[in-house]
Amino acid sequence: MRAAWRRRRQHEETAATEAFRHRHAPCFTQPRATDGREARMNDRRMSGGLEAAGAVRREPSVKPGAEHGFVERAVRRLVAESLGVDGDELSLDVSLVDDLAADSLDLLEVGLTLEADFGLSIPEQTLARVRTYGDLVDTVLTLVRVRRERQIGEPVLVAARVVPARGGAIERAGWLTPYVAQSIGEDARRAGQGARLELGVGSGTSDAHLARVVEQFAWLSAHGIDVKVSRKPGAEAA
């Protein structure tokens, strides 16, 4: 049952991803995994690139110290609903089986509910090791953190506009791989002192991704280049 549910969800996610790529194919080229070469960046108007840039998933904006509380409250609500118990009964050391009388099917339902709500994939062997409510909270929290760290390393879709002090502009959009970031940076540097680099990302871009974009182009300030990075309200996620 668990495998069938996952296959159905993966099929739905794949279909949605392919539909998004089809709609925005003229705006950008994805990094090519087959030959290991960096993705080519297509010259496009900022409006088209920004529409695609909204594809980045945004994590809940919570400080690291508050993350445990955010996750714990959500897990408490979902477990209470799945097992039909009062949320106040869920102390961290309460046993799901011995104290709450949950059987294997109950635990499977809890796992599937958490996966659907958090957008996670909980390995069966990991779920099998869960004994207490606290174990369950720690498991979900760990998976949320791993996903966030993995996503921070993924390339972001951006629209770049280099405006030299003498006038004119170069506008491009694409996946911000290291090669593309270097190319945009060199365009800005060649534009000379007093030039402006405007970088737009989708309105759904996470704070972590936004900070990474800012960091990648911070070196241009030493060359007299003014760098502006911003989210664009009109660029919504698909």
Domains of the chain, residue spans: 20-56+156-238, 64-151
DSSP secondary structure letter of residue 31? P
**H or E segment at 196?**
strand 196-202
52: CB partners within 8 A, 6+ apart:
24, 27, 28, 157, 173, 202, 235
pLDDT per residue as tens digits for the range 177-215 = 888 888 999 999 999 999 999 999 888 788 878 888 888
DSSP secondary structure letter of residue 116? H
* 64's tokens: 């690291």
Q: Give the integer Cα–Cα distance in Å for 24 and 236.
A: 13
Asked which of 13-27, 83-97, 180-194, 206-220 is least confident by mean pLDDT, the reply is 13-27
Architecture of domain 64-151: Orthogonal Bundle (1.10)
List beta partners, residue 162: 170, 197
Global pTM exceeds 0.85: no
Cβ atoms of 139 and 115 closer than 8 Å = no
pLDDT at 61 over 70: no
